[in-house]
């Protein structure tokens, strides 16, 4: 067993919080430093549904997704954590299996309840309410968050530093592979939509679409366009209209629009989960794109395993 370490996690989105909780559960002395409160992170506006979207590498992502799915399912009985199991549909015209199907034990191809998309892959998906889960996770940290901006990871105190800074990691590490993908969502009243069913359509030829129910509202999306770090994150009315039109074309009947949210997903060709080559005290853990909630627990387990293996 690895001797307890003083570990500082930088970042308090879903990746930073789950990593900190796993490290604390393994017996380490954990502090979380963050420039933004969890409610002000990209994780707070995420759709937060289990769905491996635009993430790699496929072999590791499949394993991380499977582990995370099991961990989210284990939280369902704690209503305060904001996790529910719902029925997911990945729309598809043919039965060609998506690469992430290996992470599922109940996927079936067949009819969907949508007149505008009659077939797809059906599976059980954990859905997380960020407004509930983020404070739930923060409350379980061993000590209060430290609110300050980190300019250099090497200057952060601790035996180990875990870099969970999302898009901010580009400036901290000069990682040119990390980009921000702009995501815009529309939040509506449930209307006539089933709050126990989530829909995803990320195949050609059209833009991506998803419908993610929460306990009292519906999240409709979306977009995935590379954007500059200084994107003003203003709502595009044309994108909102397109999303609502896609919902209608599928036969969905959402209620009145309650608002729009825009954020930047920290995306790279492969999640970076590794020790820094020049400073072994630093472990990088970022680049989960639109699959932060999908991979969070599985990746956090690997961070603990990485620390254990390096200590032996």
260 with 242: CB under 8 angstroms?
no
HSE-up of 79 (CA within 13 Å, CB side)? 1
How far apart CA 41 and CA 13 sit, in angstroms, is 6
pTM of the full structure: 0.96
- Contact by Cβ (8 Å): 309, 2: no
Residues 6+ apart with CB under 8 A from 34: 10, 11, 12, 16, 41, 145, 146, 147
Taking CA atoms, 84 is separated from 77, 184, 298, in Å, by 9, 23, 18
| C-alpha closest to that of 26 among 3, 47, 10 | 3
Q: What is the pLDDT along the chain (312 residues), one digit of tens a residue?
A: 568 899 999 999 999 999 999 999 999 999 999 999 999 999 999 999 999 987 889 999 999 999 999 999 999 999 999 999 999 999 999 999 999 999 999 999 999 999 999 999 999 999 999 999 999 999 999 999 999 999 999 999 999 999 999 999 999 999 999 999 999 999 999 999 999 999 999 876 678 999 999 999 999 998 989 998 888 999 999 999 999 999 999 999 999 999 999 999 999 999 999 999 999 999 999 999 999 999 999 999 999 999 988 764
């Amino acid at each position: 067993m690895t001797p307890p370490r003083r570990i500082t996690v930088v970042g308090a989105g879903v990746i930073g919080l789950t990593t900190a909780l796993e490290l604390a559960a393994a017996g380490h002395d954990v502090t979380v430093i963050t420039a933004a409160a969890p409610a002000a992170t990209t994780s707070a506006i995420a759709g937060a549904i289990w769905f491996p979207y635009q993430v790699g590498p496929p072999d590791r992502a499949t394993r991380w997704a499977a582990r995370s799915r099991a961990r989210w399912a284990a939280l369902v009985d704690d209503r305060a954590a904001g996790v529910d199991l719902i029925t997911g549909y990945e729309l598809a015209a043919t039965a060609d299996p998506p690469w992430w199907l290996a992470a599922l034990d109940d996927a079936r191809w067949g009819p969907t309840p949508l007149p505008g998309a009659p077939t797809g892959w059906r599976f059980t998906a954990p859905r997380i309410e960020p407004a509930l889960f983020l404070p739930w996770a923060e409350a379980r940290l061993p000590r209060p968050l430290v609110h300050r901006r980190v300019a250099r990871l090497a200057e952060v105190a601790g035996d180990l530093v875990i870099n969970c800074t999302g898009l901010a990691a580009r400036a901290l590490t000069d990682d040119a592979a990390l980009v921000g993908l702009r995501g815009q969502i529309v939040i509506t009243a449930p209307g006539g939509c089933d709050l126990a069913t989530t829909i995803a359509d990320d195949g050609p030829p059209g833009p991506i679409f998803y419908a993610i129910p929460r306990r009292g509202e519906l999240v409709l999306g979306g977009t995935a366009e590379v954007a500059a770090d200084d994107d003003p994150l203003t709502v595009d009315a044309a994108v909102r209209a397109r999303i609502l039109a896609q919902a209608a074309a599928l036969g969905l009947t959402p209620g009145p629009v309650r608002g729009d949210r825009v954020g930047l997903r920290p995306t790279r060709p492969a999640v970076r989960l590794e020790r820094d080559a020049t400073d072994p005290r630093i472990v990088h853990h970022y680049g989960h794109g639109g699959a932060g909630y999908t991979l969070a627990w599985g990746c956090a387990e690997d961070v603990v395993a990485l620390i254990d293996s390096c200590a032996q």
